[in-house]
Structure 1
Amino acid sequence: MKSLSQDYYHELEQIQAADFVVIELALYLHTHPDDLQAVQQYNQMVQSSKSLKKAFEKKYGALTSFGYSYSRHPFDYKEEPWPWQV
């Protein structure tokens, strides 16, 4: 397996943290749909997550497959390590 920089791990951790907040806010909003501040925080974190993922994928390659991420040429999703392996 390739050796990865500390930046790789740091950026992946930022994505995981943003996605955790998105999931928690979504669960909260299931029972509090009228909480405007929570909806605003949710939308802000979704945007943050998307931005972090876009930057990560541009630098390191796809996080997911099956149409959720673009690929470089040649198709590079087969390249290790995959995010769940680190």
Structure 2
Amino acid sequence: MNEKNMLLSMIKKYDFTLKELNLYLDTHPNCRRALSMFRKYRELRRDAVQEYNKRFGPLTPEQVTDTQSWTWVEDPWPWERR
């Protein structure tokens, strides 16, 4: 697996973990351990997405940083990038 796919896989794992923690916290809002884990994985995900954006381009249109033109459509879509 290349670095790009490994990073994307990590982001997906963080997304899954955050969703599961979100559901757990909905029913256990005072669980400090779960809240701490949620914060940790949210930060890990943020860092992984920033690294992906820096190295391979934005995953979503909201992550486009060009202020002069709409560059989202100029590059291949995230699923088309190799």
- 1:36 is aligned to 2:67: no
Q: CA deviation at 1:6?
A: 1.2
Unaligned runs of 5+ in 1: none
2:65 maps to a residue whose letter is: S
Aligned pairs for 1:1-86 within 5 A:
6-65=2-61, 68-72=62-66, 75-78=70-73, 79-83=75-79, 85=80
TM-score by length of 1: 0.80
Contact 1:26-1:42 within 8 A present in 2 as well: yes
Distance verdict in 2 for CA 1:19–1:64, change over 3 Å: same
Equivalent residue pairs, number: 79
Cα contact 2:21–2:34 (8 A) shared by 1: yes
Distance 2:55 2:72 in 1: 13
Aligned partner letter, 2:46: K
Unaligned stretches of 5+ in structure 2? none
Shift of 1:75: 4.2
Tell me how large the CA RMSD over aligned residues is: 2.0
Structure number with higher helix proportion:
2
Separation of aligned partners in 2, 1:49 and 1:38: 16
Give a deviation string over 1:43-76, Cα, whole Å, max 9, x none.
00000000000010000111101xx313347643
The answer to which structure, 1 or 2, has the higher relative contact order (CA under 8 A, 6+ apart) is 1
Aligned-pair identity (%)? 22
